Chain A
Amino acid sequence: MSNVRTSRKGVLITCDVPTKQFILHLNSKQAQGFIINDLDETHLFVEASAVHEIREQLERLQEMNVYVRQA
C-alpha cells in the first residue's frame, strides 16, 4: 500500500560496544542469523523472535564472571 521500499518489523537493541560484539558473535554461531540490520556501534535491529535467546545468553555471560563467597 505504500511506496516505501522496505519495512521490517523487529526489535531495536541499544547497548554498549562489547555487548554488541557479543550479540554479533551469537549471530554468527546461529545457523540462521537474526540480525536484520547492523545500524551503528551501539545499535542493532534484530528479529523479535531472537530477543528471548539473546537475553538468556547475556544473563549467562554476566553470571560467568561472578564470584560468590562461600560461607
Chain B
Amino acid sequence: MDEDPSLLVVVFDASQGAWAAKDALAAQGSTVGTFQGTLEAMMVFLQSYLLMHRRNDIAVVACGEAGSRMVFPTPAIEKDNVSLATGGVSSKRVQSCIVDGLRELMSASACGTASVQPAVSSKAPIAKALSQALCFTHRKITENPSVQTRLLVVQAGPDAPESYNAVMNCIFSAQKAQIPVDCLCVGPDSVFMQQAADVTGGVYCHVQEPNVLQQLLTLILPSQACRKYLRTKGQETVDFRAACFCHRRLIEIAYVCSVCLSVFCEFSPICATCGTRAVPKLLTT
C-alpha cells in the first residue's frame, strides 16, 4: 500500500436540547434530520471510510451538556492494545461502543439538566471535545509520524459564544498541526465552524435536509489529497466575525488593544486582558 493510513476523529455533538428540538420538528412533519437518521448516516460513513484504506483508524468524541468524553476507543479497548487497523476490533463492536457511549452521555445530560446550576451553560462544550480530539491526534502522531489525521465536527446546536476563545485556540492549534477540520452543521449556521474549516483547509457543509449521507460521502469522505481533484462547492462567504471579550457578542466593528490584540465592543481605558492603559486619540483631520 503506498498511501499512508489515515486517522479520522469525529466530534459528535450529542446535546440533548438540540436533538430533542430537531426530533420534535421532524415529528411535526418538517424536513429536518432526526438523531436516529444522522447517527445511521454517520455509521455508514464511518464504514465507508474504513473501507478506503486497510489501516484507516477512527476515534469518536461525543459532547453533550454533561460534558465530553471519548466514546471510541473506550479505555477497555485501549488497554487491550487491539487496534482497528490490524483487525483487532470488529465493526460491530465499534458501532456498539459508539451507540452505548452516546446513550450514556445523553442520559447523563438529561438527568443533569434537572439539577443544573443556572450559571452553567446548557450548550454542548464543543471546545472541550475539540481539545480532547486534538490531544488524541497528537498522541497518535507521536506514536506513528506517518499517519494523516483529520477532524470532523458534527454540530447540531447553535454556537456557544462564551466558548469563543477556547474554540479559536483549538482551531489555531489544528491549523498549526496541519489537521484539516471538516464540519457538518445540521443545526443553525455556525460561525466558529465556518472559520475553522476556512483556516485549516477543511470543508464546511450546512445541511438542513434529512439525508446527510450524500454530503458526507461526496464532500467529506475524500482525503485532502483527493480533494484537489474534485470540483466541490467551496465556501463563498465566510463569516469572520469575532466575539468581543467582554460580552461574548459577535461584532463586526470593535476596539482592539494594541498590545495583546484583544477585541472589545466598548472602549475602556484599561485593557481587561493585559492591563495596558490606553488613551483614545481622535484623528484630527
Instruction: Indicate if A touches B (C-beta under 8 A).
Output: no
List A residues at the B interface (Cβ < 8 Å). Answer: none
List B residues at the A interface (Cβ < 8 Å). Answer: none
